[in-house]
Every structure is written in structure tokens, then in C-alpha cells.
């Protein structure tokens, strides 16, 4: 029961989580695919985890999926490699990733950086050295 709770906590505390195995080609494929979309994923490599087999059993109980990769976005089960790519093809994956915070809105990030830059320039012109600047 403790393992199931641990897995549920991982699923709900990470915007995007991929349960994977390092040697699995479908796992590598979905991780690269998500990275290509600009998504930042928490990856749990079950073959590297001491209790990886127990985690996989808990995942089967939670998601009804026994195989890896096993992808969750915003606490919601998406599925494996094929299901994740199918969700993208349907146009539902990227909005899910953005809503969960796994993909940062680039335009919003640029606006924040520009605002911070403008604020820094404004502060520099108000500093103690601003009156000693000679044109």
C-alpha cells in the first residue's frame, strides 16, 4: 500500500512524469518526443529503482497499464508511447502539458524577461552613479 501511495504522490506532484526503463526503445522514443515538444518531464527509470518491480505493479493497479512507458500529465494517465503520440495528433497533448505547467509558454517567458530587463535598466538610471554620468 505504501508503494501505491508513493506512486500516486509522484503522479500528482509532477506536471509530467514518465515511468520508463533505460533499455526500452518505446520509452526512449516518448521521452525524446516530449522533449521535442519542449516539455520537462520527471522520469523514473524503473530498472534503476531499488523497488522498480513494486512501482510497476502499483502503476498497473493505478493505470490498468502493465507496460512502459507510462505517461501522466497533470495527474491524468495518458498512456504509453502510442497513446501519447495519438493524443498529440488529436491536438489534446500540448494543451494538457501547458495547463499542467510541463511546457512553459515561450511568449509569456519572453514578456517576463523583457519586463525584468526594463526594470533593471530603470533601476540603473536611478542609482547613485546616474547623476555622475557625463554624456
The pLDDT of residue 114: 74
- Is residue 120, in this structure, part of any structural domain at all? no
- Provide the CATH number for the domain around residue 84: 3.40.30.10
Helix axis angle for 93-100 and 81-90, nearest 10°, is 100
- Is residue 113, in this structure, part of any structural domain at all? no
Range of the domain at 81: 2-103
pLDDT digits (tens, 9 = 90+) for 90-112: 999 999 999 999 998 766 666 67
Task: Work out how many domains the chain is built from and give that number.
Answer: 1
Residue given cell 507510462 in the structure block: 70
Model pTM score: 0.79
The pLDDT of residue 104: 80
- Is residue 123, in this structure, part of any structural domain at all? no
- Is residue 121, in this structure, part of any structural domain at all? no
- C-alpha pair distances (Å), 107 with each of 77, 94, 99, 121: 28, 15, 15, 21
- Is residue 75, in this structure, part of any structural domain at all? yes
Q: What share of the chain is helix, strand, coil (3-state, %, to 5)?
A: 60, 15, 30
- Is residue 65, in this structure, part of any structural domain at all? yes
- Is residue 124, in this structure, part of any structural domain at all? no
- Is residue 60, in this structure, part of any structural domain at all? yes
Indicate the pLDDT class of residue 129, thresholds 50, 70 and 90.
low
Instruction: Kindly give the pairing relationship between strand 16-20 and strand 70-73.
Output: antiparallel
pLDDT digits (tens, 9 = 90+) for 34-87: 999 999 999 999 999 999 999 999 999 999 999 999 999 999 999 999 999 999
Amino acid at each position: 500500500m505504501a508503494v501505491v501511495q508513493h506512486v500516486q504522490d509522484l503522479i500528482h506532484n509532477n506536471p509530467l512524469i514518465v515511468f520508463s526503463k533505460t533499455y526500452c526503445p518505446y520509452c526512449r522514443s516518448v521521452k525524446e518526443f516530449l522533449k521535442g515538444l519542449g516539455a520537462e518531464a520527471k522520469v523514473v527509470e524503473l530498472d534503476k529503482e531499488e523497488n522498480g518491480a513494486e512501482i510497476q505493479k502499483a502503476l498497473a493497479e493505478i493505470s490498468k497499464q502493465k507496460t512502459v512507458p507510462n505517461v501522466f500529465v497533470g495527474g491524468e494517465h495518458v498512456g504509453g508511447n502510442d497513446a501519447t503520440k495519438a493524443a498529440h495528433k488529436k491536438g489534446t497533448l500540448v494543451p494538457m502539458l501547458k495547463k499542467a505547467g510541463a511546457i512553459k509558454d515561450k511568449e509569456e517567458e519572453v514578456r517576463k524577461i523583457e519586463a525584468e530587463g526594463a526594470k533593471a535598466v530603470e533601476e540603473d538610471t536611478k542609482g547613485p552613479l546616474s547623476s555622475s554620468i557625463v554624456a
